């Protein structure tokens, strides 16, 4: 008989680069990391086994595809902060035994846990929670995963008095094993994965406390949400805390008040009021976008704000979006305020017959939409109930689809460059669980987006199951000067809406054919984008966007006439200009202009009047010296027309 002693002495696992690694049976992800190198073993946080998030202690089966996750990976950072959340929850339970646990997810650069507490958390308690977290880290508790039958898990959390956990378990599929994690005396319901030990959490900070309803429903009990953040070293934590302090200084709500840009009022919660200065910024963004659309042969339309309820059933928004919609009754019929512009655009397309020669038909709309957001999540311009989308709907033949997507990608990239957003990435999101349309439609939509990205040589992140309910999409995620990421532009390929609305075009064969619809937004919500711009620039807008582009500052009453003459020259040249006619001395006038973040300050006195010049100061750059008035006006006009993000040098052509 042949020898069998050597059978199954090793297992083979596949690494992300395709390499195979031989290891003894029963090896864990951590064993794999150690076999590759001590540095990787030290930095490993968790892993994936055949795409499933797994602890480092998870045993790898033979033939598995395994990925080791570190701080460089988003999923690795999530593991780190998820464990930090459990450390914080354990600290709260030690300090306040009556606390009841709910949920505690990691976020992009932080984490939170919601608790039912007998009393509100005080600032002193935040400090004590941090101290207790430090003790738990120093105690170096092993973090262990266990799986329990459903009934046993419910009984366990009943004994612990954790009624929110039993509610969550009761809603899980009956055949699904329930996983729990233990560290010292602390037990939590959790899918994981987690770090191996509490001592792996190196640097952390409890940030703040806020109110939150259980499951976001105002009919439920109000909980207390404790926010924190954590990093693998103190230096990274300190840099993050510095950026948080800077973000407070740049808060768009504060700068909006100081620069008189916008306001909110109790008479319209969640509905922004743009003042004259803010409206200038709003208008200039739209003028720029319209110019770019005209260069690319877009047409612009306007659709009604209120449309019959039947339309929203037909489009699918009723089934997928009605909880966020506003409704009204007209002539005893039900109507809805539009949360999206696309159904109106579909009706315009359908109003006449189209030939393949007209396609691709690129239809833009700066449409006002309304979406109901809970009052607890409203946040300045970032989360509002009414906003303008810079929408477009591109109707193309299937053969034109990839070209249409590529053109939209390149347009969005150009727009971000003009606004000074040079750091961004793209994410491709595929069919979600709740969706409309056939498998073939979804495959074609996803392929068109993927092929377009790959032909442009663009690296992207794949988000399985995160598409819109009607189509796959590419989202643009922009990083601002504070290293925060914002989802802005989007490109969505939609085969379903043309089918639902029975859209057609006449092909070269004289027969009716179904067009493909591409939904496209460049900046998304103009309100949110303006909020981003305010915080990205700290209110220091480039000249072309600034509400007041130049202010004339006469040194004294004697030079008011020359100042007014200069002001009129600026206005005739199309510059948004003002003059400080107060009796203040020049120092306070300069300080006031600096506080208003006016890009150009033009000081005029005896010397300037005699030489028909201006003394130029730039906000944030200081005194640039004297300049011939006509040359300055020509310079600032170039800066405005070029939409320059930096000042044009004097004398530049």
> Edge-to-edge strands of the sheet including 203-213?
100-101, 111-116, 222-231, 203-213
Condensed to tens digits (0 to 9), the pLDDT of residues 232-264 reads: 999 999 999 999 999 999 999 999 999 999 999
pLDDT > 80? residue 652: no
216: exposed, middle or buried (C-beta count within 10 Å: 0-12, 13-18, 19+)? exposed
As a whole number, the mean pLDDT across the chain is 92
User: Which residues does the annotation mark as catalytic?
Assistant: 342, 371, 389, 391, 393, 473, 519
Structure token digits, residue 537: 């620039």
Which residues does residue 329 pair with via DSSP β-bridges, in sequence order? 334
Q: What is the pLDDT of residue 436?
A: 76
**Residue 4, domain member (yes or no):** no
57: nearest Cα among 68, 65, 46: 46
In our burial notation (b when 16+ CB lie closer than 10 A, e otherwise), range 379-389 reads: ebbbbbbbbbb
**Residue 315, domain member (yes or no):** no
**Residue 326, domain member (yes or no):** no
Task: Please indicate, yes or no, whether residues 202 and 274 belong to a single structural domain of this protein.
Answer: no
**Residue 650, domain member (yes or no):** no
C-alpha span between 532 and 250 (Å, rounded): 10
562: exposed, middle or buried (C-beta count within 10 Å: 0-12, 13-18, 19+)? buried
Q: Are strands 203-213 and 222-231 parallel, antiparallel or unpaired?
A: antiparallel
C-alpha span between 412 and 489 (Å, rounded): 7
Condensed to tens digits (0 to 9), the pLDDT of residues 294-340 reads: 999 999 999 999 999 999 988 888 887 888 899 999 999 999 999 99
- The mean per-residue pLDDT over the stretch 70-91 comes to 96
pLDDT > 80? residue 539: yes
Condensed to tens digits (0 to 9), the pLDDT of residues 93-132 reads: 999 999 999 999 999 899 999 999 999 999 889 999 999 9
Task: Please indicate, yes or no, whether residues 427 and 573 belong to a single structural domain of this protein.
Answer: no
User: Which of these three, 537, 560, 575, is where a domain ends?
Assistant: 537
- In 10 A of CB 175, how many CB atoms? 6
State the Rg of the chain over Cα.
Answer: 30
**Residue 91, domain member (yes or no):** no
Task: Please indicate, yes or no, whether residues 184 and 225 belong to a single structural domain of this protein.
Answer: yes
Task: Please indicate, yes or no, whether residues 499 and 520 belong to a single structural domain of this protein.
Answer: yes
Q: For residue 597, what is the domain's CATH number?
A: 3.40.50.800
Tokens 């509490």 belong to which residue?
A: 198
Condensed to tens digits (0 to 9), the pLDDT of residues 282-293 reads: 999 999 999 999
HEC states along 230-289?
A: EECCHHHHHHHHHHHHHHHHCCHHHHHHHCCCEECCCCCCCCCEECHHHHHHHHHHHHHH
Structure token digits, residue 484: 């925060």
Q: What is the pLDDT of residue 213?
A: 87
C-alpha span between 19 and 39 (Å, rounded): 19
Task: Please indicate, yes or no, whether residues 276 and 421 belong to a single structural domain of this protein.
Answer: yes
364: nearest Cα among 306, 297, 312, 279: 297
pLDDT > 70? residue 3: no
Task: Please indicate, yes or no, whether residues 501 and 621 belong to a single structural domain of this protein.
Answer: no
Condensed to tens digits (0 to 9), the pLDDT of residues 582-632 reads: 999 999 999 999 999 999 999 999 999 999 999 999 998 999 999 999 999
Task: Please indicate, yes or no, whether residues 470 and 567 belong to a single structural domain of this protein.
Answer: no
Condensed to tens digits (0 to 9), the pLDDT of residues 458-483 reads: 999 888 888 888 788 999 999 988 88
HEC states along 183-218?
A: ECCEEEECCCCCCCEHHHCCEEEEEEEEEEEHHHCC
Indicate whether this model's pTM tops 0.85: no
- CA angle (111, 114, 117) in 5-degree steps: 140
Give the whole-number percent of the chain exceeding pLDDT 90.
82
**Residue 379, domain member (yes or no):** yes
Tokens 């994410």 belong to which residue?
A: 427
pLDDT > 70? residue 6: no
C-alpha span between 104 and 385 (Å, rounded): 27
Q: Could you give the number of structural domains in the chain?
A: 4
- Phi/psi region, residue 574 (left: phi>0; alpha: psi -120 to 50; beta: rest), is left
Segment holding 86, helix H or strand E: helix 74-95
Q: Are strands 550-554 and 577-579 parallel, antiparallel or unpaired?
A: parallel
Sign of the dihedral defined by the CA atoms of residues 260, 262, 267, 270, in that order: negative
Segment holding 170, helix H or strand E: helix 163-170
**Residue 511, domain member (yes or no):** yes
Task: Please indicate, yes or no, whether residues 61 and 118 belong to a single structural domain of this protein.
Answer: no
pLDDT > 60? residue 26: yes
Task: Please indicate, yes or no, whether residues 533 and 432 belong to a single structural domain of this protein.
Answer: yes
pLDDT > 50? residue 561: yes
C-alpha span between 96 and 87 (Å, rounded): 14
User: Which of these three, 49, 70, 91, is where a domain ends?
Assistant: 70
- Phi/psi region, residue 209 (left: phi>0; alpha: psi -120 to 50; beta: rest), is beta
pLDDT > 70? residue 653: no
Task: Please indicate, yes or no, whether residues 467 and 368 belong to a single structural domain of this protein.
Answer: yes
Range of the domain at 380: 262-304+338-537
Task: Please indicate, yes or no, whether residues 285 and 376 belong to a single structural domain of this protein.
Answer: yes
Spatial contact of 177 and 151, defined as CB atoms under 8 Å apart: no
DSSP 363: E
- CA angle (324, 325, 327) in 5-degree steps: 150
Task: Please indicate, yes or no, whether residues 554 and 533 belong to a single structural domain of this protein.
Answer: no
- The mean per-residue pLDDT over the stretch 501-527 comes to 94
Q: What is the pLDDT of residue 4?
A: 44
518: nearest Cα among 420, 620, 412: 412
Q: For residue 208, what is the domain's CATH number?
A: 3.30.980.10
User: Which of these three, 245, 273, 291, is where a domain ends?
Assistant: 245
**Residue 473, domain member (yes or no):** yes
Spatial contact of 165 and 120, defined as CB atoms under 8 Å apart: no
């Amino acid at each position: 008989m042949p020898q069998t002693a050597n059978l199954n002495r090793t297992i083979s696992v596949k690494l992300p680069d395709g390499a195979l690694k031989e290891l003894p049976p029963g090896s864990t992800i951590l064993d794999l990391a150690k076999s590759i190198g001590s540095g990787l073993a030290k930095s490993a946080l968790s892993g994936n086994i055949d795409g499933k998030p797994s602890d480092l202690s998870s045993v790898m089966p033979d033939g598995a595809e395994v990925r080791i996750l570190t701080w460089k990976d988003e999923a690795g950072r999530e593991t780190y902060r998820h464990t930090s959340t459990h450390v914080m929850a354990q600290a709260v339970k030690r300090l306040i035994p009556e606390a009841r646990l709910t949920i505690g997810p990691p976020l992009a650069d932080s984490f939170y846990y919601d608790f039912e507490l007998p009393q509100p958390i005080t600032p002193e308690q935040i400090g004590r929670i941090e101290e207790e977290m430090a003790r738990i880290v120093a105690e170096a508790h092993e973090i262990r995963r266990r799986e329990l039958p459903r009934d046993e898990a419910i009984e366990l959390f009943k004994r612990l008095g954790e009624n929110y956990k039993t509610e969550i378990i009761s809603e899980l599929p009956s055949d699904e094993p329930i996983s729990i994690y233990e560290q010292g005396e602390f037990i939590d319901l959790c899918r994981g994965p987690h770090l191996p030990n509490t001592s792996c959490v190196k640097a952390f900070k409890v940030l703040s406390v806020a109110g939150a309803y259980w499951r976001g429903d105002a009919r439920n009990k109000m909980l207390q949400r404790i926010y924190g953040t954590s990093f693998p070293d103190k230096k990274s934590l300190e840099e993050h805390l510095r950026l948080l302090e800077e973000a407070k200084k740049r808060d768009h709500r504060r700068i909006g008040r100081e620069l008189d840009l916008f306001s909110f009022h109790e008479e319209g919660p969640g509905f922004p009021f743009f003042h004259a200065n803010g409206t200038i910024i709003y208008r200039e963004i739209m003028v720029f976008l319209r110019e770019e659309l005209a260069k690319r042969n877009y047409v612009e339309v306007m659709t009604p704000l209120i449309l019959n309820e039947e339309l929203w059933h037909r489009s699918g928004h009723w089934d997928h979006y009605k909880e966020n919609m506003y409704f009204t009754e007209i002539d005893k019929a039900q109507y809805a305020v539009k949360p999206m512009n696309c159904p109106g655009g579909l009706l315009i397309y359908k109003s006449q017959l189209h030939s393949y020669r007209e396609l691709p038909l690129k239809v833009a709309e700066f449409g006002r939409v309304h979406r109901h957001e809970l009052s607890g999540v409203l946040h300045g311009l970032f989360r509002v109930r009414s906003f303008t989308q810079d929408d477009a709907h591109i109707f193309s033949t299937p053969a034109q689809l990839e070209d249409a997507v590529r053109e939209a990608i390149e347009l969005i990239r150009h727009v971000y460059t003009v606004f000074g957003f040079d750091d961004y990435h793209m994410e491709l999101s595929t069919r979600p669980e709740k969706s409309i349309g056939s498998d073939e439609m979804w495959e074609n939509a996803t392929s068109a987006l993927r092929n377009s990205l790959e032909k442009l040589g663009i690296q992207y992140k794949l988000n399985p199951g995160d598409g819109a309910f009607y189509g796959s999409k590419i989202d643009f995620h922009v990083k601002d000067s504070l290293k925060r990421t914002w989802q802005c532009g989007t490109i969505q390929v939609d085969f379903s809406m043309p089918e639902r609305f029975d859209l057609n075009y006449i092909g070269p064969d004289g027969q009716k054919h179904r067009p493909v619809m591409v939904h496209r937004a460049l900046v998304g919500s103009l309100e949110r984008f303006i909020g981003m711009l305010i915080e990205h620039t700290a209110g220091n807008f480039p000249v072309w966007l600034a509400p007041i582009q130049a202010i004339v500052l006469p040194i004294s009453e004697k030079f008011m006439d020359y100042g007014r003459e200069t002001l009129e020259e600026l206005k005739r040249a199309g510059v948004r200009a003002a003059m400080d006619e107060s009796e203040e001395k020049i120092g306070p006038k300069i300080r006031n202009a600096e506080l208003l973040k006016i890009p150009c300050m033009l000081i005029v006195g005896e010397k300037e009047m005699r030489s028909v010049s201006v003394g130029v100061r730039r906000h944030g750059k200081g005194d640039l010296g004297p300049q011939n008035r006509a040359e300055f006006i020509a310079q600032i006009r170039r800066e405005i027309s070029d939409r320059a993000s930096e000042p044009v040098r004097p004398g530049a052509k």
